[in-house]
Amino acid sequence: MRIGTGLRMKYGIPTSKGAGIFYFERERMTQRLILIRHGDLGESCRGCYVGRTDAPLSAEGRRQAAALAGELGPLNGARILCSPLLRCRETAGIALGAGATLDLDDDLREIDFGRWEGMSFAEVAAADPAAVDRWAALDEDFAFPGGEDIGAFRERIGAAAGRIADDPAGTVVAITHGGAIRLFICRFLGLDYRQYLLFDVRPASISEIRIEDGRGVLTRVNDTHHLEG
């Protein structure tokens, strides 16, 4: 695996230039990507497929968003990306304040579950077990009935990841959805997208990736300490 210059310097690994000559290059600036999942949506959405549905935050979700303020407040100068869905915009507005500048990015939307939207996991499993098995296997060509296919979801998250990696801002905050965050982690860590479900991403949690040369190091995941107390 290729180790970027900044990581070589961090761990004291020399880089080579020419035959037998070793030197330490000046460390390149690394970038922070802070991934925030929107707050809780309430009991009516719990255990259900909620993708394109434009559900608002619950009272608990608004409390969680307010608890994020202490984490995001010190990030002056950060670029703030946000899914256009209401639950993410509400999370951003509460956590950052009404005066915050948000860049709404349609690629940060959650996957569209089609006719499964609003159905419980148990209802879908009973109605279409074969489709659920394909979804659980993350088949590349699987499409939710009447909704989005996994390949298209991967492509748009990959496109957003490419823009983030090229962004000149030292810190980028993306307020988005659980599915998107899991794919961002896989994308930047070079993992197969089928590792997607290995990561638990709770409402209003914080995950962070350090990015260098388009590849990342996961520095925290599913951090909810700010919600305690």
Q: Name beta bridge partners: 149.
A: 143
Rounded CA-CA distance 171/192 in Å is 25
Whether 155 is catalytic: no
DSSP letter string, 154-222: HHHHHHHHHHHHH---SEEEEEE-HHHHHHHHHHHHT--GGGGGGS---TT-EEEEEEETTEEEEEEEE
Active site annotation includes 38: yes
Q: DSSP assignment, residue 194?
A: G
Which of 25, 27, 38, 226 does the annotation list as catalytic? 38
Are the beta carbons of 50 and 37 closer than 8 angstroms?
no
First and final C-alpha spacing in the chain: 42
**27, 60, 71, 110: which is the annotated catalytic residue?**
110
Catalytic residue numbers read 38, 110
